[in-house]
Amino acid sequence: MSEQSTFPKSTIVLLTTAALVVVMAGVKSAEPIVTPFLIALFIAAIGAPPMLWMTHRRVPQLLALAVVMFVIIGMALVMSGLVGSSLDGFSRNLPEYQVRLQSISGQILQWLASHGIETDMARARSLLDLSAAMGFVGTAFNRLIGTLANAFLIFLTTAFILLELSSFGHKIREISHNPDNAMSNFGRFSATLNRYLVIKSLMSLATGLTVTLVLSLIGVDYPVLWGIVAFMLNFVPNIGSVIAAIPAVLMALVQFGFAMAGWVALLYVIINSIYGNVIETRLMGRSLGLSALVVFISLVFWGWLLGPVGMFLSVPLTMTLKIGFEASSETRWLAVLLGAEDDLEPEPHPPDAGPANPIIMPLPMAEPGRENSDQG
């Protein structure tokens, strides 16, 4: 007679939580290794559709890979050159901009004092510190550029991932106990992820180009830099577009005054609303399947775990977990918690269910023959 040892649910939950904490600590300590690999996966997911399109039209695989990698490396070099030149010029002129902004802050404090509003001058000046406002963006760029400094490893990993595209499906089928279910989940995940990344990349590119064009027409200094900031931070959900607008609005305030700064802020709101809330929402549809709260929490969690790279990839990483939870009946409830309300199936209402009020009780039926006797 074989004995089967079972653990209490509380013990299982405790062990699972401890294992999760150990895994997160390992990932955080291995951030210099994990983040380049995640960036390579991100780049490969964007480059996969054009490469598959070429291979399906009988273009040799190595030639298709060479074309895709040439375009990716070319775009990376152009963007890094634009960012480097713009940051150099901005850094040289930053003291002059800071003096102008301090003068504007002094005028604001005098106006407030004339209306009987006492403020802490040192604290108010620190809030209008242009270098402090650029601190978050600068730190994020520095860490991201530090990660991208190992560009050879990233692009080499991307190339190998793209080469493995054709055989990856066969490997998933071979190692799975339920090949049809595994391939269905993998196909749905890859299609959803590719759709999200392609649409998000196009919308971010359109946002960056529009910001660059609008700021150039207005005359704000370094429009290319602010356009690249808008492009990069548009991948960060919820707060990315707000952070991207702050330095450009402060620059317009320094150059032209409050009226133009207000117009620049309004233009940012219009641009992000058109691309983010109208066009992107229509293109995405319900394919994302994550609630707004989960998107924000994932932004905070992955940003803490992996830094700026985790913030950029918070939505794809959370989608990976959601689809993985959906594959098992034991963890499907976690996928439901991560999902959006629109994905929930409405509760069925049975026809002719009668009154829903439990206080109303059905009347008792009359006994046979009782009605005739009463009439008699």
Give residue-wise pLDDT tens across range 165-186: 777 767 777 777 777 777 777 7
* Domain span including residue 57: 25-168
pLDDT at residue 184 in the model: 74
pLDDT digits 0-9 by tens, 362-373: 444 444 444 444
pLDDT at residue 345 in the model: 56
Would 147 be classed as within a structural domain? yes
Would 115 be classed as within a structural domain? yes
Would 109 be classed as within a structural domain? yes
Instruction: Choose among 168, 190, 194, 154: nearest CA to 72.
Output: 154
Tokens of 88: 């150099």
Would 139 be classed as within a structural domain? yes
CB atoms within 10 A of CB 302: 21
> In sequence order, what are the residues at sequence separation of 6 or more whose Cβ sits closer than 8 angstroms to the Cβ of residue 50?
64, 67, 68
Residue 343 has pLDDT above 70, yes or no: no
Would 213 be classed as within a structural domain? no
pLDDT category at 262 given cuts 50, 70, 90 is very high
Would 284 be classed as within a structural domain? no
Would 332 be classed as within a structural domain? no
Q: Which of 112-121, 196-205, 219-228, 260-269 has the lowest mean pLDDT?
A: 112-121
- Number of independent structural domains in the chain: 1
Would 156 be classed as within a structural domain? yes
- Say if residues 170 and 50 touch (Cβ distance below 8 Å): no
Residue 154 has pLDDT above 80, yes or no: yes
> What percentage of the chain carries pLDDT values higher than 90?
11
pLDDT at residue 271 in the model: 93
Residue 20 has pLDDT above 60, yes or no: yes
pLDDT digits 0-9 by tens, 196-254: 778 888 899 999 999 999 999 999 988 998 998 899 888 887 788 888 898 899 889 88
pLDDT at residue 103 in the model: 77
* Cα–Cα dist 170/173, whole Å: 5
